[in-house]
Copies of this chain bind each other. A is one copy, B any other.
Amino acid sequence: MQKISDKVINRLTLYHSILTDYLEKNIEYVSSPQIAELLHIDNTQIRKDIALLGYKGKCKVGYKAKDLKLLIEEKLKFKTVKTAFIVGAGNLGMALAKYDNFEAYGFKISALFDNSPLKIGIKLNDKEVFHLNKIPELAKEFNVKIAILTVPRVNAQEVTDFLVKSGIKYIWNFTPCVLNVPKSVQVWHENLIGNFLQFTVNHGVEEN
């Protein structure tokens, strides 16, 4: 299958969000200039992205919101269930556990883990917080290969080593650390600082 670039995936999810919004307001059609206006990006870019999905809008009325939404969901495999653990039940871990709509994207958080006795047993939207030492057992039992890492910076590498030993193969890393893992494990940096600096360095934020 043709690989979709990261930037296209990013834009497709934004179109998806707009389509969801339109459908909630019972608006049946959406045009590329309307999307362009909302995202402040070029109309031709949007048409190009949507052409990748093999969908052509109707002249003057645009795209049928429901159909386009489904095509994006298919292309980005929303129906494929991806089960993950959240490791670190601090504010960020809690925020992600409660994040609006993750499940709609096929993303299922099955449990949280922490080492603080105060947090163990807490339930967030039916997701329970367990002690870290339960990870190997539960990862095996539920065949979980993805961990979302939201522990403090100082514990990041140590916890990562433990995740690797527990059979975790994919780590979505929200810590500001670069993690040392074997080649068999993939790390995806949610590089907040990097994202923020893209914004300030390249997009003209002035000093204040």
Task: Compute how far the CA of A11 lies from the CA of B189 in the bound complex, rounded to whole angstroms.
Answer: 10
Flag the segment in A53-61, A111-119, A196-204 that touches B.
Answer: A196-204
Task: Compute how far the CA of A100 lies from the CA of B6 in the bound complex, rounded to whole angstroms.
Answer: 27
For A179-208 the 0/1 string (1 means CB < 8 A from B) is 010010011111111111111111111111
A191–B13 touching, CB < 8 Å: yes
B194–A10 touching, CB < 8 Å: yes
Task: Compute how far the CA of A183 lies from the CA of B37 in the bound complex, rounded to whole angstroms.
Answer: 9
B82–A14 touching, CB < 8 Å: no
- A170 CB-CB contact with B under 8 Å: yes
Task: Compute how far the CA of A195 lies from the CA of B178 in the bound complex, rounded to whole angstroms.
Answer: 17
Sampled A-B contacts (19; CB under 8 Å): A4-B201, A9-B201, A10-B189, A11-B194, A12-B194, A14-B189, A14-B194, A17-B177, A76-B201, A77-B197, A81-B207, A91-B95, A100-B152, A105-B193, A105-B196, A145-B205, A170-B203, A188-B198, A188-B203
